[in-house]
Homo-oligomer: A and B are copies of this chain.
Amino acid sequence: MAKKRLNVALIGYQFMGKAHSNAYRQVEHFFPELELVPHMKVICGRNEERVCSAAERYGFEEYATDWESVVARNDIDIVDVSTPGNLHAPIAIAAATHGKITLCEKPIANNLKEAREMVAAAEQNNILHGVFFNYRKAPAVSFAKQLIDEGALGKIFHFRGTYLQDWIVDPNFPLVWRLQKEVSGSGVHGDLNAHIIDLASWLVGDIQEVSGMMETFIKERPVLKEVDDRLGGQASAEMGKVTVDDAAMFLARFKNGAIGTFEATRFALGRKNYNRFEINGSKGSLVFNLERMNELELYLENDPAGLRGFRTIQVTDGSHPYVGAWWPAGHIIGYEHTFTHLIRDVMEAAAKQELPSPNFYDGLKCQAVLEAVEASANNRQWVSVEA
């Protein structure tokens, strides 16, 4: 009576490869209700030595260096695209063409055109697809969604999102791929704003128009010699041009009348992974901060006069989304669990032959906002988001 297993091919073995692997490994042990579970079949990367080592460390059965043949294999059910952004579209489109369940890291593509082609390929091949907007799957965020959908905040007035990091403040930090436009598409914009745009769209609604600005504080950096595991690497003596944004921020108007501010930067010393948003509505407010991702702050105007205040909810209860699968209340979970929850939902959707959420459409929607912000930053005016 063993469970049915879907064979996963993971393309990419760095930070996201590690995080996704963990999700594939863990999901069946904490979500025994799943009918379908992943099997870690093959991991794929260009550097044979590194990908071989990753396969062993992460627990994949095989490794490969040529994604094109991997995505064509008959024994592969799921292709997970965890490469830098410039490879998302080619790999995802190939995977779709081969009818695979295709999961893609965010931002879905390096530009809107690519994103549209990916959606088209997915539709033409009628595949199931997903995108790794993993922060939706933090229990506190999913719980926030539930509260908003139930009307606990009333009509939404404000979204206030910041995603702050500080890992490239040092001008000697090298020119990693995330700082090269031809690889990553953009800097913090696609890396961090993509997350808060998705959260805002999911929690508040579609964004109608934006006014943005983007800034590169440090224009040249040492070329990278050797990459490491933790986003960095070893610098060389040669300098190269930074071709992406160090900071990107924008004002937004949502279709439903709410207004928002968004800011992403890698130049906020002391902020390590400060993905924080606050939402204010006519009945209440809530605040989430990824650095304390097990908590949700909630203010309810309906509380009795004198007793109102932001309450810090430990979202670790059996009554909260996902988290009952883990430990008793007050026993916190970590960053990587968001991926496990996402894979859990993908497995459940796959069992029902339904489209997972979030998926390529969400990726496309996010890409349209990203692109509108870039246009606005260039022409110094408000720009409407393409439908």
Contacts and interface: CB of A to CB of B under 8 A. Distances in A.
A311 B281 CA distance: 18
A283 B170 CA distance: 9
Interface in A145-191: 157-158, 160, 162, 164-167, 169
Given A313-B308, A382-B380, A280 B269 contact: yes
Interface in A189-227: 211-213, 215, 217
A125 interface: no
Report how many copies the assembly holds.
4
A64 interface: no
Contacts of A143: 306
Nearest to A381: B381
Contact of A270 (B284, B332, B335): B284
Chain A, interface size: which category? 35 or more
Given A211-B211, A251-B213, A335-B332, A158 B307 contact: no
A328 B261 contact: no
A361 interface: no
A280 B271 CA distance: 10
A309 interface: yes
A263 interface: yes
Interface of A: 15, 19, 21-22, 25-26, 29, 32, 53, 56-59, 143, 157-158, 160, 162, 164-167, 169, 211-213, 215, 217, 230-231, 247, 249-251, 253, 257, 259, 261, 263, 265, 267-274, 278, 280-285, 290-301, 303, 305-314, 316-320, 324, 326-337, 380-382
